[in-house]
C-alpha cells in the first residue's frame, strides 16, 4: 500500500510539472495575437518518424472577429504528435486554463485524424520545423 501511494504521488508530481510546462520556448506569434510556445522537455521520439511535444498558446488580445468565445481563457495547451516523414500532425490532448484559475482537460475527439502541415502557416510550419528538424 505504501509503495502504491508513493507511485501515485510520483505520477501526480510528474504529470503536474508536464502540464505546467517548466521550460516554455517561444516559437512565434500569429496575426490574431496568439503566441505559440513549446515545452522543450516534453519533446519525445515515439518511433522512427513520430515525435510528440506539448505546446502552449497564450492569448494576448481578444479575437479580431469580435467573438467572445476566448474571453475567459488565459491560455491553452495541446499535446501533439507529428509524423515527420509524411509532414502531418494531430492533437492528442487539450487543456484549457481559464482566467478564474480553473482548468479543463480532455482527449481530442478527433485524435485519430491526421492533418497536413500547411506550408507558410505560422504555427504548423514553425512547430514542424522545431519538432522534426
* CATH code, 46: 2.40.128.710
So what's the pLDDT on residue 68? 62
So what's the pLDDT on residue 33? 85
| Number of domains the chain contains | 1
So what's the pLDDT on residue 30? 86
16 belongs to a structural domain: no
2 belongs to a structural domain: no
49 belongs to a structural domain: yes
So what's the pLDDT on residue 70? 66
17 belongs to a structural domain: no
7 belongs to a structural domain: no
- Residue 50's domain comprises 22-132
pTM across the whole model: 0.74
So what's the pLDDT on residue 44? 95
Mean pLDDT per 10-residue section of the chain, whose length is 133 residues: 37 43 82 90 95 93 62 89 95 92 88 86 85 90
Contacts of 113 (CB under 8 A, 6+ apart): 90
Dihedral, CA atoms, 108, 130, 21, 63, nearest 10 degrees?
-60
Amino acid at each position: 500500500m505504501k509503495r502504491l501511494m508513493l507511485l501515485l504521488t510520483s505520477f501526480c508530481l510528474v504529470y503536474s510539472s508536464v502540464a505546467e510546462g517548466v521550460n516554455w520556448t517561444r516559437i512565434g506569434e500569429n496575426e490574431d495575437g496568439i503566441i505559440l510556445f513549446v515545452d522543450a522537455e516534453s519533446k519525445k521520439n515515439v518511433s522512427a518518424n513520430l515525435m510528440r511535444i506539448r505546446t502552449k498558446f497564450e492569448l494576448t488580445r481578444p479575437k479580431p472577429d469580435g467573438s467572445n468565445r476566448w474571453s475567459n481563457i488565459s491560455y491553452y495547451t495541446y499535446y501533439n504528435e507529428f509524423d515527420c516523414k509524411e509532414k502531418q500532425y494531430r492533437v492528442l490532448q487539450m487543456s484549457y486554463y481559464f482566467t478564474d484559475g480553473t482548468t479543463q482537460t480532455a482527449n481530442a475527439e478527433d485524435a485519430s485524424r491526421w492533418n497536413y502541415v500547411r506550408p507558410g502557416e505560422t504555427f504548423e510550419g514553425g512547430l514542424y520545423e522545431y519538432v522534426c528538424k
